[in-house]
A and B are shown apart, each in its own frame.
Chain A
Amino acid sequence: MQQRDRLAGHGPHGNAEKHHRHRHGPTSRHDQGHHLLQVSNLSVGFRMYDVDAPFLSAEQHMVNVIDDLGISVHSGEIIAVVGASGSGKTLLADSVMGLFEPNAAVYGEVWFDGQRMDAEALSAVRGRAGGISLVPQSVSHLDPLMRVGKQVEGFGKQGSREERRAKRRALFERYGLGEDVAQLYPHELSGGMARRVLLCCALMDDPKLIIADEPTPGLDLDLAVAALDDFRAFSDEGGGVLLITHDIELALRVADRVAVFKDGTVVEETAVANFASPDLLEHPFSRALWHALPEHGFDVTPDGGDAPC
């Protein structure tokens, strides 16, 4: 209730009424009257062959992974997406980036900055200034045959080579990567260093929206906090961040809202403050996640972890 009062009077909606199936965080706003990113009715499925059929007569069938999903990102906010592994969080990121596997069937609407996007439009804003940047989950996204400094500089689309190099240097310094690291190849980096290089790639551009797919594994606490502080600063300047993470404690420090994912759909979108106590969480799966945190009991089967949704 306290959260509701704090939000009252915010934005064109006037209060904390649910609209588009979510409530606002304290810093969320609609620039020019629309969401920065809005995904609605998104479904993703994969065509797969029937594995048990004889080789040449196997039929194809669809396996649905994401089902009727809706999520919005406002200017000036960080929305954290937490949820079960395998529930389609990375697929959501890929769908918004317009990166599809050849056998994927994607339905639904993606609106970015007031424009309805299709695959072509998404590829035009991908990694561009004023567009969408991705911090990928897998360190295999780095080119194994190129020195990492050059890779990061190549991500900047603006300015001369010297300007890009200066920006890359500043970013490396901020994340505690020395100039010698720029001369290394990806296989020479530790897990945490590779993760920091991926972060630098996303921050080289001046995107409007950053999609960060698990940016913190392998980073020690200080570095992880520095990374999240950068996301906070980025969103305070009017950008939006979709932060996909398993580290709930860390996400709660910077995020404005939390969306809880399970089996390819959002089961609950809630204010960060509600994660203070399991009683404030609506869905049984959110409560199960809370109880499973190492800080809160490390329990596996509290009230209805497998509840249908």
Chain B
Amino acid sequence: MLEARDISFGYVKGEPLYEGFSFSVEPGERVALVAPSGFGKTTLCRLLAGYEAPWSGEVLCGDAPLPTVGPCPVQLIGQHPELAVDPRLRMEKTLAEAGEVPDGLLDALGIRSEWLRRYPHELSGGELQRFCIARAIASRPRYLIADEVSTMLDALTQAQIWHFLLDWQADSGAGMVLVTHSPALLDRLATHVVSL
């Protein structure tokens, strides 16, 4: 179980975004976070994935704190793929950050082999996002946090990628946290909904 226990956090001293907030995801669940823009959804995602440390309380993955070395079992896919990749690495090196990429993963995400030798500025936003998803999956996470992952994809690619992610989840039994502003997508995907 991925769990945030009584966490408090904020960016400005004395102005907490959350106080004593608790939240948990079981393996196989898809929990949607719902709140207006600027409410701290992305911040919560960053806390769960270990990018930020809470002021108080703890984030536990399988009853242990997140490891500080090795690949994190909680992987975050962010909403701005162009900011999540190194602009001076070819895409094949960006993918290699996650270690060995399983066979068929690139095909399943519609990543073409000629894109591997390109730099990030030579790809579109949707194409970059597929690389970010591939990189997160390749590190074999136990929990995946999808922060608006499909808003920069067309409807067809969005459906393809979510079908892929749902199949992957069914195979691996991972837990998922997702953020989306589309009510229709929420109805399709979430097993339950948490309003902040």
Q: Please tell me the size bucket of the interface on A.
A: 35 or more
A82 CB, min distance to chain B CBs, angstroms: 7
B69 CB-CB contact with A under 8 Å: no
Q: For the complex, what is the distance from the CA of A193 to the CA of B39, rounded to whole Å?
A: 10
Closest to B188 in A: A294
**Which A residues are in CB contact (< 8 Å) with B153?**
85, 246
Number of B residues near A (Cβ < 8 Å) is: 42
Interface centre among A85, A101, A190, A214 (most CB of B within 10 A): A85
Of A2-10, A22-30, A107-115, A135-143, the segment with at least 4 beta carbons within 8 Å of chain B is: A135-143
Of the candidates A46, A222, A305, the one whose C-beta lies within 8 Å of that of B122 is A46
**Which A residues are in CB contact (< 8 Å) with B188?**
294, 298
Q: For the complex, what is the distance from the CA of A247 to the CA of B124, rounded to whole Å?
A: 17
Asked if A191 and B183 make an inter-chain contact with CB atoms under 8 angstroms apart, the answer reads no
Interface of B is mostly: helix
Of B59-67, B77-85, B97-105, B170-178, the segment with at least 4 beta carbons within 8 Å of chain A is: B77-85
B165 CB, min distance to chain A CBs, angstroms: 12
Contact with A along B6-38 (1 / 0, CB 8 A): 000001000000000000000000000000111
Asked if B117 and A292 make an inter-chain contact with CB atoms under 8 angstroms apart, the answer reads no
Contact with A along B40-57 (1 / 0, CB 8 A): 111100000000000000
Asked if A219 and B37 make an inter-chain contact with CB atoms under 8 angstroms apart, the answer reads yes
Of the candidates B83, B123, B182, the one whose C-beta lies within 8 Å of that of A247 is B182
**Smallest CB-CB A-B distances: 5 pairs:** A85-B126, A192-B37, A217-B151, A294-B184, A292-B159
Q: A139-B83, A246-B154 are in contact. List 7 more A-B contacts (CB 8 A).
A: A140-B83, A218-B148, A247-B151, A290-B155, A294-B188, A300-B160, A300-B163
